[in-house]
A and B are shown apart, each in its own frame.
Chain A
Amino acid sequence: MKHSHDHTSLDLSTNKSGYSDDKLKDIHVQSLREKPTKGFPLLPIFMLFLFSILVFGCAIYIALYSGGFDPLIYNEQLKPVKKLELTNSTVPFDYITHGKKIYNRDCVVCHQSTGLGVPGVFPPLSGSKWVTGNVHLSVNIILSGLMGPIEVGGTVYNSVMPPLGSQLTDRDIAGVLSFIRQEWENNAVEVSEDLISKLREEQGLRDTPWTIEELLSLYPEE
């Protein structure tokens, strides 16, 4: 090497045959200029071939497995549905079906999907006389909540049921009541939306939940 002080033999890498930085560049610049003169340049042809095959394969893969670029398609084998075949038939509104949805969202956490509640904490709805009995009571309980002791199926529960009147519509309440009155062991008649509207107007939404005594004095048992 010309400038030996530039290349002390620190590390074997500057052995006799090693390149200096300038040589490293020059030799590669040269290699770019050189046109392959002899023989058939196999490597570029091979790379081109491989590149084409891969691009082709990948393009087919994307065409087949991209779900039409629909953001809501998660299974690559599906195709997007053609602009939702809209029908003119309206699904008839069914209180029980609607009520089940509401129940599963707002009630199931405490009363459970079995309707049996949590022993000692949240009372059961299945087989409960409060559910199947006088509907005025249960509507008011849903509208403004309930607190204090209540006896259900021989056990006294003492928790708080939150008021739901402001977040549920009359239709929701009619649905959910119709649902719980007919689900499980229960077998009582459906509840009409008008009744809810009437009671909502009569009682308003109270600031404090009902106690069962208040309700019983309001609606003495038949």
Chain B
Amino acid sequence: MNNLPLTFCGIFFTLAVAWVGIVLTNQIQYGDLEPTTEQLDPKTGGPIEGDPLYPEKPVGLAEQGKKVYMDLGCMYCHTQQVRRKDFGNDYNRSWGKRQSVARDYIYQNRVLLGTMRTGPDLMTVGERLPTSAWHHLHLYNPTITSKESLMPPYSFLYKKRKIKGSETSKYALKLPPDFTVEEGYEVIPGYRANALVAYLLSLKMSYDLPEAQRD
């Protein structure tokens, strides 16, 4: 029991084995995962030549919005993963037409799977709720769009300002009667609100993947 070098080896190898098994093996298996076509070519077993490849690289304002999503900690109440049809109830809640698979995430430099569903899953929120106006109202004050929501308001992402001239800005939120601001003022989304909404609208799983069909 007092053979120290052996003890150190043991301490080292127990964790080393787990690290190799969980982290490295998966990095080897997934490291070269590339986008593919929705179906595979039955002749080659590879992607069908000329068909669109999925997933696509995320671009533009949505990537800025992801940073807002991260710094506000949205993922502590919202997951971004869909479980398969016969496991849990994700399918019936229309959180996705299929399970999400590793390939869906290969272009994300920060994967925000989440482990808590205080709020609904957001993997496909851009398909379920495709209008930015809805998202802006919901972020500004969630009780506008769902009366009993427990989500905190993110009104600090919005600016209240005096209406210039006679017309309200076309960007101003169309607030329902109970939530209006005082006469002569309007609420407009700040840059971060626009980015965050762009990110939410970009969350889609509208394509199929070959490995997701076997569920």
How many B residues, CB 8 Å from partner? 29
- Give A34 Cβ to nearest chain B Cβ, in Å: 14
Whether B44 and A169, one on each chain, are in contact in the complex, defined by CB atoms closer than 8 angstroms, is no
In the complex where A32-B1, A86-B45 touch, is A105 in contact with B207 (Cβ < 8 A)?
Answer: yes
* A-facing residues in B53-68 (Cβ within 8 Å): 54, 56
Contact with A along B48-90 (1 / 0, CB 8 A): 1011101010000000000000000000000000001001000
By the criterion CB–CB under 8 Å, are B43 and A71 in contact? Answer: no
Whether B43 pairs with A86 at a CB distance below 8 angstroms is yes
**B101 and A86 within 8 A (CB):** no
Task: Using A86-B45, A98-B51 as known contacts, say yes or no to A71 and B30 having CB atoms under 8 A apart.
Answer: yes
| A-B contact list, 24 entries, CB within 8 Å | A32-B1, A71-B30, A71-B33, A72-B102, A74-B84, A74-B99, A74-B212, A74-B215, A75-B215, A86-B42, A86-B43, A86-B45, A87-B43, A90-B43, A98-B51, A101-B38, A101-B51, A101-B52, A102-B52, A104-B206, A105-B52, A105-B207, A169-B50, A171-B50
How many residues of chain A have a CB within 8 Å of chain B?
24
Contact with A along B180-215 (1 / 0, CB 8 A): 000000000000000000000000001100011011
Taking Cβ atoms with an 8 Å cutoff, the residues of A that contact B are 32, 71-75, 78, 84, 86-91, 98, 101-102, 104-106, 108, 169, 171-172
Kindly provide the distance from the CB of A103 to the nearest chain B CB, expressed in whole angstroms.
Answer: 10
B50 touches A98 (CB 8 A): yes
Question: In the assembly, what is the distance between CA of A89 and CA of B42, in Å?
Answer: 8
Q: Main SS of the interface on chain A? A: loop
B29 interfacial contact with A, CB 8 Å: yes
B109 at the interface (CB under 8 A from A): no
CB contacts (< 8 Å) of A72 on chain B: these are 101-102, 211
Q: Tell me whether chain B's interface is mostly helix, strand or loop, or mixed.
A: loop
Q: B92 interface residue, CB < 8 Å from A?
A: no
Residues from chain A with a CB closer than 8 A to the CB of B52 are: 101-102, 104-106
CA distance A3 to B215 in the complex (A): 70
* A169, B48: Cα distance in complex, Å: 15
- By a CB distance below 8 angstroms, the chain B residues around A73 are 211, 214
Asked if B166 is an interface residue, CB under 8 A from chain A, the answer is no
A157 to nearest B CB, angstroms? Answer: 16
Specify which chain A residues have a CB less than 8 angstroms from the CB of B101 in the assembled complex: 72, 74
The CA-CA distance from A86 to B30 in the complex, in Å, is 24
Given the complex, which residues of A lie within 8 Å of B214, measured CB to CB?
73, 75, 78
Is B108 among interface residues, defined by CB-CB distance under 8 A?
A: no
In-complex Cβ contact of A172 among B30, B38, B45, B50 (8 A): B50
- B48 vs chain A, min Cβ distance (A): 8
Q: Given contacts A71-B102, A75-B214, could you give 8 more A-B pairs where the C-beta distance is less than 8 Å? A: A73-B211, A73-B214, A74-B99, A74-B101, A74-B215, A91-B41, A98-B51, A172-B50
Which chain A positions have C-beta within 8 A of B54? 105
Q: What are the residues of chain A within 8 A of B48 when measuring CB–CB?
A: 91
Any A CB within 8 A of the CB of B26: yes
Return the 3 tightest CB-CB contacts between A and B, nearest first: A71-B29, A72-B211, A84-B45
Residues 17-30 of B, flagged 1 when their CB comes within 8 A of A and 0 if not, give 00000000010011
A87 to B56, CA, bound (A): 29
Are B43 and A88 within 8 A (Cβ)? yes
Give the complex CA separation of A78 and B45 in angstroms.
19
Could you say which of A86, A98, A105 contacts B44, with CB atoms under 8 Å apart?
Answer: A86
